[in-house]
Chains A and B, each alone.
Chain A
Amino acid sequence: MSSVPEILFRDVSKRFRPADPPVLQAIDLVIERGEFVTLLGPSGCGKSTILKLVAGLEPISSGQIRVNGLEPKNARRLVSFVFQEATLLPWRNVERNVALALELEGRSHDDALQTTGKLLDLVGLTDVAQSYPRALSGGQKMRVSIARALATKPRLLLMDEPFAALDEINRDRMNEEILRLREAGNWTVLFVTHSVAEAVFLSKRVVILSPHPGRIAHTISVDLPYPRTAELRETDAFDALVNQASRLLREAHRA
């Protein structure tokens, strides 16, 4: 493993306008290659903003961010972003939505379609490859969005509450699937959610943020072995971690 951390935040602050109060203040965070880290916090604590900073979609106001030692903007090739909504192109069918990222990176049409086929198989959407987004369920749309993100073989996946709009059963299922997919890819993941159970189930580390301005309040290590399966949710160890995280989240919210 290289000594360069996958993501490095050094005393990062962010204001959207110079006169505004900061949305993020004094963020220090190191994420190693292959880690699954979740940012947990109430709405308005700047979770999504952190992802946008890592993606180089927003400039920082002070401090330093490095992605694999590079400026975020220059590291985009290594990164894929999964948005809160599926953000599919409604005029493209499933297959061509997944192929989009490959096309943008200049891969040939045939090449792109071949990769796409494998990915759709991986996320279980081969049957609807020719369907348009409006015919898909919320869960299916999110799978397309994830397949699209994986198409460029990213090292780092940024996921902004990707399953927030799904019902609990589908969300649990997607959580299991993400972990299953990750076994093959071993990407680093920075995940944002406001669901405590989701955070604990997925991550190696849960970072709890407090709002106004967004700061890191606590960090919890989740020492549960991978691969994790649905049964994990019924164990006492899982419950204990969820309770601990909930308590810390409440404290952070009050502070």
Chain B
Amino acid sequence: MKKKLLLAANAAVVFVALLCVWQVAVWMLRIPPFMLPPPMSVGRAIVMRFPELCTSFWISAEAAVAGLLGSIVGGLLVALIFARLPWLRRMFFPYTILLQTVPIVAIAPLILMWAGQGLFAVALVTFIICLAPIIANATQGLISVDTNLLQLFLMHNASQGQILRKLRFPHSLPYLFVGIRISSGIAVIGAITGELFAGSTRVGQGGLGYSILYAMSQLQTDYLFALVFAATILGFALFFTAMFFEWLFLHKWHESARSESIEF
């Protein structure tokens, strides 16, 4: 515990020191604020435009969470089908890699063209970017069950449903959570990318991605920084929420979720 506090204190000191260097550098080198605003003006922008910032934050959060949850449900369903039907898995698994390798920025305009401009379309972009890690990890977890355990179930004439419920699914949880953790990190990227193309999803207001574009066009660089800051917070929040659920479900029995051994 003491060690953790010390680590947190270290990180805080580094953060404050960086802010000081930034502030002094901007002042000494006379960098124009539209190129690089000093941290004080970024702070001011955060305070002055806090309600606006919060609105953008929640719009993006909504899309990111909806897309992420959708990808967990959808990815798990696909993984269940893949685990049940090996021939289907062999046929389609390579295409899940395609999902991951297609640059999301390149296909986001297409998705928005087909799905409209609203929250649904942005969530859809997030869903697509989050899907592959879930499918890959959940499938791996469902099929990599110990042979002896499988034979134990067969010895007791277990049905396929029992094998799935009592063996494959619980066994896949640690794998699934690795996938969720990866996807939670990239969900914000999906949401912001979607918003960059979607424009405002609500009349007069937009998510972080839209607001970033707008702030850039207006040379409101201090607010742009505030938005970047908000996006980072959102990413952290999703990541730690995912980690919390991982801990909640696994800490009793799985090594990876013991608090000392969690790795980022």
Binding site for B on A (CB under 8 A): 52, 55, 57, 76-77, 79-81, 83-85, 87, 89-92, 100-101, 103-105, 132-134, 152
Contact = CB atoms under 8 A, between A and B. Distances in A.
B138 to A, nearest CB: 16
A100 B157 CA distance: 12
B157 A79 contact: no
A90 B253 contact: yes
B153 interface: yes
A57 B154 contact: yes
A79 B151 CA distance: 13
Nearest to B163: A104
Given A91-B253, A134-B253, A57 B170 contact: no
A133 B252 CA distance: 10
B99 interface: no
A81 B166 contact: no
B175 to A, nearest CB: 13
Contacts of B52: none
A106 to B, nearest CB: 10
Contact of B155 (A80, A84, A92, A134): A80
A91 B155 contact: no
Interface of B: 146, 148-149, 151-158, 162, 166-167, 170-171, 173, 252-255
Contacts of B166: 89, 100, 103-104
B253 A57 contact: no
B247 to A, nearest CB: 14
A70 B253 CA distance: 40
Given A57-B155, A80-B155, A90 B254 contact: yes
Contact of A55 (B155, B252, B253, B255): B155
A81 B154 CA distance: 11
11 contacts: A55-B151, A55-B155, A57-B154, A76-B155, A76-B156, A87-B146, A89-B167, A91-B170, A101-B156, A104-B156, A105-B157
A164 to B, nearest CB: 14
Contacts of A79: 155
Given A55-B155, A77-B157, A79-B155, A91 B148 contact: no
A76 B167 contact: no
Contacts of A84: 148
Contacts of B154: 57
A94 to B, nearest CB: 12
A105 B255 contact: no
B254 A91 contact: yes
Contacts of B155: 55, 57, 76, 79-81
A152 B152 CA distance: 13
A62 to B, nearest CB: 23
Contacts of A52: 151
Contacts of B170: 89, 91
B157 A57 contact: no
Given A55-B151, A83-B148, 20 more contacts: A52-B151, A57-B154, A76-B155, A77-B157, A79-B155, A83-B152, A85-B148, A87-B148, A87-B149, A87-B152, A91-B170, A91-B173, A91-B252, A100-B156, A101-B156, A104-B157, A104-B166, A132-B252, A132-B253, A133-B253
Nearest to A82: B152
Given A90-B254, A132-B253, A134-B255, A104 B149 contact: no
A159 B24 CA distance: 74
Contacts of A81: 151-152, 155
Contacts of A132: 252-253
Contact of B156 (A87, A89, A90, A105): A105
A81 B151 CA distance: 9
Contacts of A87: 146, 148-149, 152
A79 B152 CA distance: 11
A219 to B, nearest CB: 27
Contacts of B149: 87, 89
